[in-house]
Structure 1
């Protein structure tokens, strides 16, 4: 009887650990992102996950459960604001909104299941080593890259973002982008896990263990050394650059309820007043946020004429008072016609005094926010969209603004687009000198979403080594320099004007030139070793020496 009780207790402890360890990892990972922003936690958040994975290695059902016990809590912590938005603006019942969040969290958890299963298949957790850590790190980056691209892509909450709070680590983004930051996070976690296994198995005195500790240590120490070198290099370039512009970023703080109700007069008065006040700072450029003016340009004739009349009067006044000319970039819904058929775009327009000089129509739309994917096949999906399916995507391009010294090229990113490194790289390669993010984060209230969104802007600034401006309808707006340092930053839900001096950069970072290189290499390395592992396991030639040589580092552990 006592034996049975002991057995039950042992099983109960194992079951509890089976749930608790991945759940604990999920909580640590979630807390490393804003609002909690306890970024230091990201360096050891995955250790419990690795531990339980090693115990259940190669058991598919167990690994699937582990991925859910990790993924659902993590993404629920990270993306809880989806419930707030769906309930408040999508008029969706609270229970259904929670179900939608859980479905999304479950889908995103599948990438962790793939990682855990494939990493276990390659024996990377049972007997960790430097070689296995590098292999698992490449596999992890490959799957994060796939999550960012497949099925429209959802790169929110990539593991590298908490490193935006560590300046020396952040500088690596100019080499490998957000993928390099995620790789670093993984390697540091794996290193601590490797140490834990070494000391718990009493192998820490062996020469092999000490050699691998040295290899891990050298790799990890290389990161801050590069960060320091890169920071000094770009600070020198920044100080030597004399080409400056003065900018003003306007944050109107228009509640989403008013924007939804098309209270055009309130928005017009707010931004007209802010624009007039911003001119006191003598800016070269004035930036409005996404859809700052809530009408259809030029389809809504009355507000269109009213706003254009304001701009023309403003420019006449500027000329009369000998104020230097400026360009204004404003967000608005734009109506275009193709063969008589109207199309609505989420646009940025450039006004330089007499007419619209250039425009950009948002290319990457928000699923269920600006369009409904697969709605032709599943009409019921339209019910869970926050807005009706009327927005149409534009083409990838930069904004060109004429100045006396020549054209200025601005890389425009509207809202969700700033989450995609791929979009940034493509546009920087066309010659962008400044990054501008226009967004309307009023959808999210005082949740963590605006803070997470601004965190991404820090990484985009370093990836492109450009001054990055973010103009939000309501928080968080800011000016970020090419080293990822916040120059100015607004408060949430506050009407503000941010004015400051920026410098134009034309230097190319490594990531700007070869943005896709690291994730593609990670995909190739991961695919190659998986194919070789399968060949070794199932091929009648698996005893051949050339395959055994390749997998000798995996065997040694």
Structure 2
């Protein structure tokens, strides 16, 4: 029985949703795109083709990340899912166009190239949303992807697309030649089996190097469970929240504690000027606490403000005070000890809409559009603070990753390369409620651990706080929406993986081939014989 084509579109969305973390059916990702390959082959009408592809990708986006609209403005989630599905359709439209002009094998290659290029761009522009990078599909299966230390998530994307193409072509050949089961098993099944299982087998032989026992470091991670909507940013609650943090910290901290970690925006929810941090009541109270633990430093999220002098270069995100001077607000991380030196890192990968109005430099009137998700409206600043938190006492360098930044493979790798020994992720996943959002976010951190071969100390305001080893194994995950304190040992590591050293080579190579394919498509419009000659070869 011949099924309506829209059934194939919905089938693709269903398979992709069931394969995505934290759903347990990961192997379905290897066939999730096969219905779309069938549609690409059967549908010739451009708008009908676009409609079927867009429907599949939209349903997948909504089913997987519907929770992005679980905010005070649900329309933001509707826009995010629709816009992302539209962007995902572009590689498929380009693939369809290539199918019309070039041989089938080249067209399949172009699909891989176009999708990898799309993912690469989607991690580098200001509308970035790499949540559904295909390589993230294996977050629940770290044993399958130990080779990510060489390729990053782009290797997983290549694996997904190649597997779908090979499996679809075996299915197509089986139908075309009416293979018996014996013929199929003898002549064809080895192809998808090799593509799917060889990377898994390879992964079983790849291990992170052993930890250096001499560098073992004790951390205390505090999960305070403060409601981000009704409690976190309410006026006059900052000191009460600080008292809670200190009380929870003192439950587990001791003389061996090296780092105390508090979550995103734990300090100064209404903002504090960076040049006055040493005089803030919170900092004075923290230093009083730290004197009990002479080896410890505190790493915490904070909302900080920076006042620009007339001689400073003023960024487009800066706001104006009544006296005409300019200032910026930052979603920051701070490292505090008993000295007068406070290191401040500024979050760079900001959430479009919530923390950043994309391309506000060209649309300055849109500055006030950003949603108030951090106690301060308008776009956050993006000028850099410190690159790493340093600790000369034990030669440890920490890269403090703030929330959304932990989804970016290349960004994390770039900041490990200068010498980060340990990843600390601070986040506030309570914005999305008890949905798949916070669970997916935790799982993606496992991939960052594998790519960089670093221990990860993850501190979430409402959960899930945990510790992750360089092989992607999770330890001491804490329940969502519960107060919790973790004491754990992590090991700073200095080795650099191939991926960190060389960056995302697969995506950069795909970008080059994408440009060549687009140049060919442009030239062939003016030299029709070029297209026909290539098809006939």
* Alignment partners' CA distance in 1, 2:519 and 2:22: 41
2:29 is matched with which residue?
Answer: 42
Aligned 8 A contact 1:248 1:283 in 2: yes
Taking a change above 3 Å as real, the CA distance of residues 372 and 125 of structure 1, as seen in their structure-2 partners, is same
Report the Cα offset of residue 298 of structure 1. 4.7
* Alignment partners' CA distance in 1, 2:382 and 2:478: 30
Secondary structure at the residue paired with 2:446? helix
Aligned length: 514
1:265 is matched with which residue?
Answer: 239
Aligned 8 A contact 1:335 1:345 in 2: yes
Aligned 8 A contact 2:303 2:330 in 1: yes
Q: In structure 1, which of residues 303, 315, 322 is the aligned counterpart of residue 290 of structure 2? A: 315
Q: In structure 1, which of residues 356, 363, 366 is the aligned counterpart of residue 351 of structure 2? A: 366
Query: Which stretches in structure 2 are left out of the alignment for 5+ residues?
Result: 310-324
* Alignment partners' CA distance in 2, 1:64 and 1:420: 29
2:318 is matched with which residue?
Answer: none
Q: In structure 1, which of residues 433, 437, 442 is the aligned counterpart of residue 430 of structure 2? A: 442
Report the Cα offset of residue 479 of structure 1. 0.9
2:171 is matched with which residue?
Answer: 196
Post-superposition CA distance 1:403-430 (Å, at most 9, x none):
4343x21112111111212211221121
Taking a change above 3 Å as real, the CA distance of residues 214 and 539 of structure 1, as seen in their structure-2 partners, is farther
* Alignment partners' CA distance in 1, 2:100 and 2:221: 49
Q: In structure 1, which of residues 64, 88, 111 is the aligned counterpart of residue 50 of structure 2? A: 64
2:332 is matched with which residue?
Answer: 347
Within the alignment, does 1:138 sit opposite 2:113 as a pair?
Answer: yes
Taking a change above 3 Å as real, the CA distance of residues 217 and 241 of structure 1, as seen in their structure-2 partners, is farther
Q: In structure 1, which of residues 308, 331, 345 is the aligned counterpart of residue 301 of structure 2? A: 331
Counterparts in 2 of 1:121-520, with a 5 A limit? 121-123=97-99, 133-202=108-177, 214=190, 216-231=192-207, 234=208, 237-239=209-211, 242-256=214-228, 257-262=230-235, 263-280=237-254, 282-293=256-267, 294-298=269-273, 305-318=280-293, 324-339=294-309, 341-373=326-358, 377=363, 379=365, 382=368, 385-387=371-373, 388-389=377-378, 391-395=380-384, 397-406=386-395, 408-520=396-508
Query: Which stretches in structure 1 are left out of the alignment for 5+ residues?
Result: 1-9, 319-323, 553-557
Aligned 8 A contact 1:173 1:180 in 2: yes
Secondary structure at the residue paired with 1:160? helix
Query: Quick check: which one's helix share is greater?
Result: 1
* Alignment partners' CA distance in 2, 1:302 and 1:76: 42
* Alignment partners' CA distance in 2, 1:507 and 1:165: 25
* Alignment partners' CA distance in 2, 1:144 and 1:312: 44
Post-superposition CA distance 1:125-176 (Å, at most 9, x none):
99966x7544432332222222223343211121221212223322122111
**Pairwise CA RMSD:** 3.3
TM-score normalised to structure 1 length? 0.83
Taking a change above 3 Å as real, the CA distance of residues 532 and 238 of structure 1, as seen in their structure-2 partners, is same
Taking a change above 3 Å as real, the CA distance of residues 127 and 215 of structure 1, as seen in their structure-2 partners, is farther
Taking a change above 3 Å as real, the CA distance of residues 507 and 484 of structure 1, as seen in their structure-2 partners, is same
Taking a change above 3 Å as real, the CA distance of residues 299 and 160 of structure 1, as seen in their structure-2 partners, is closer
Secondary structure at the residue paired with 2:134? coil
Taking a change above 3 Å as real, the CA distance of residues 450 and 126 of structure 1, as seen in their structure-2 partners, is farther
Aligned 8 A contact 1:399 1:412 in 2: yes
Aligned 8 A contact 2:271 2:303 in 1: yes
1:29 is matched with which residue?
Answer: 16
Taking a change above 3 Å as real, the CA distance of residues 165 and 394 of structure 1, as seen in their structure-2 partners, is same
Within the alignment, does 1:78 sit opposite 2:67 as a pair?
Answer: no
Aligned 8 A contact 2:299 2:336 in 1: yes
Taking a change above 3 Å as real, the CA distance of residues 281 and 495 of structure 1, as seen in their structure-2 partners, is farther
Aligned 8 A contact 1:286 1:326 in 2: yes
1:5 is matched with which residue?
Answer: none
Post-superposition CA distance 1:363-412 (Å, at most 9, x none):
22222212333567485784562341163223164323324343x21112
Report the Cα offset of residue 519 of structure 1. 0.2
Aligned 8 A contact 1:244 1:504 in 2: yes
Aligned 8 A contact 1:434 1:505 in 2: yes
TM-score normalised to structure 2 length? 0.86
Taking a change above 3 Å as real, the CA distance of residues 146 and 63 of structure 1, as seen in their structure-2 partners, is farther
* Alignment partners' CA distance in 1, 2:385 and 2:24: 33
Report the Cα offset of residue 505 of structure 1. 1.2
